[in-house]
């Protein structure tokens, strides 16, 4: 049960440097696949920001590649959880419309 556990890790976008870390409480087992999930999240957000392919296509490609490795295939991030992150990184490429043009 992870309730009440403040365990977390913050990294840079490339997942090469730990910026901040909060340890897990003793009763919390933690996530042994956390580094893999963080790496995949970084890959998905970077690809969605740089490529013009549909986000679902990028996600499907990464899932297909991950399914080839049995030890990690069940630990891939859910599309529901990644969709908004990927969309927000992609939207940063475009300028926001001025207030008078938004309606």
To which H or E segment does residue 58 belong?
Answer: helix 55-67
Domain boundaries along the sequence of the chain: 8-93
Contact assessment for residue 59 and residue 40, using Cβ atoms and an 8 Å cutoff: no
* Residue range 65-76, pLDDT digits in tens: 777 766 665 666
Find the angle CA(44)-CA(49)-CA(54) to the nearest 5 degrees: 75
Spans in the chain with pLDDT lower than 70: 1-9, 13-15, 22-34, 69-81, 103
Q: Taking the model in full, what pTM does it have?
A: 0.50
Distance CA 2, CA 67 (A): 27
């Amino acid at each position: 049960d992870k309730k009440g556990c403040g365990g977390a890790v913050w990294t840079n976008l490339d997942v090469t440097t730990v910026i901040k870390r909060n340890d897990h409480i003793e009763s919390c087992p933690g996530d042994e696949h956390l580094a893999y999930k963080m790496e995949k999240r970084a890959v998905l957000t970077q690809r969605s920001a740089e490529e013009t392919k549909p986000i679902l296509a990028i996600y499907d490609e990464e899932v297909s590649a991950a399914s080839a490795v049995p030890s990690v295939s069940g630990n891939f991030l859910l599309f529901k959880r990644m969709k908004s992150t990927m969309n927000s990184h992609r939207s940063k490429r475009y300028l926001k419309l001025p207030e008078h043009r938004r309606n």
